[in-house]
Amino acid sequence: MKTKIHVPPIKIQGIKTKLIPWIAENVELHEDTRWIEPFLGSGVVGFNIAKKNALFADSNPHTISFYQKIKSGEINSSLVKQFLYREGEILSKKGQEHYNFVRERFNNEQNPIDFLFLNRSCFNGMIRFNRNLKFNVPYGHKPERFAQAYITKIVNQIKYLEHAFSLNNWEFKCQSFEDTLNEVKEDDFIYCDPPYIGRHVDYYDSWDETNELKLHELLINSRAKFMLSTWDNNEYRENEYLKSVWNDCFKLNKEHFYHIGAKETNRKPMIEALITNYKKSTKPEVEEMPEKNYVQMDLFSMIEKISTQHGT
């Protein structure tokens, strides 16, 4: 039976939802291992894999603030339900005018619940900020975005987090990856999903070669086990840093599709890479034979057995 993957209420491009089973089977965690995640993003990986103790960090203050307020109870599923019904009704009548109003309100007041609204009604669920750290993603042009079923889905996602946060010792900090990795102890497990170098930049998680080299240095020197998600190659080019920076580590690969935009033609394959400083012991894969073949083999075995008994 497959374990249910819990999708968080915050959406980001490049979310790892479909890669979680692969990541989970290759991490090395015990019940008392503290999970360290310096690049929280949406939180989908850690919220599904981390054990009782975890430190979740990110340089984006808005995602961290949103989850901190769920943990403290300042934001809860009931409040979100009322808010999205109210704001969604106005959006259905005023469309872009109301979206722009909420975006301006958020940029002035930085209310985390406005951030949720924008994240779910902006173009393609993007999170992007300009040089002045103002949210600048345009309207997604879906005035009926917050239909009852959609609101229920988001509310249930928050209910799961309310439950998970109450059961676990999960800490949230808005800080740099350097500060987070300086808190690591040898028996922690580090999972890193930094911006993919050469592929994505915004003003909360801009990333270049200096950052990549610093991350490598800190992870190696931490003496803790770590795993890093990155890209290996696509149909156009390869990630040269796997050979020049991460060549002292182990690598696992898997093909993954990122769907950018509404058209199926935009669904492009990319080879993902997991970089670790340990070699995971794995069992050999056994291809499962379809059920009908098992039945057919049993039938042949019975015929052969009857034939042998009768000397034919």
Rounded Cα distance between 127 and 41, Å, is: 10
Strands (E), the chain: 34-37, 53-58, 169-174, 189-192, 225-233, 250-259, 267-276
Q: Where are the alpha helices (DSSP H) in 223-290?
A: 241-244
State the pLDDT at residue 66. Answer: 98
In tens digits, what is the pLDDT along the chain, a chain of 312 residues? Answer: 357 899 999 998 777 999 999 999 999 999 999 999 999 999 999 999 999 999 999 999 999 999 999 999 999 999 999 999 999 999 999 999 999 999 999 999 999 999 999 999 999 888 999 989 999 999 999 999 999 999 999 999 999 999 999 999 999 999 999 999 999 999 999 999 999 887 665 546 678 999 999 999 999 999 999 999 999 998 888 999 999 999 999 999 999 776 554 454 555 688 999 999 999 865 443 333 333 333 333 433 443 444 444 444
Q: What is the DSSP letter of 6?
A: P
Structure tokens at 122: 């902006």
157 contacts: CB under 8 Å, gap ≥ 6? 6, 7, 8, 9
Q: Three-state SS for 122?
A: strand
Rounded Cα distance between 301 and 99, Å, is: 68
Rounded Cα distance between 213 and 81, Å, is: 44
Q: Are 113 and 138 spatial neighbours (Cβ–Cβ below 8 Å)?
A: no
State the pLDDT at residue 307. Answer: 46
64 contacts: CB under 8 Å, gap ≥ 6? 40, 56, 57, 58, 172, 173, 174
Distances (CA, A) of 48 to 43, 44, 70: 8, 6, 17
Domains of the chain: 1-59+175-312 (3.40.50.150), 62-166 (1.10.1020.10)
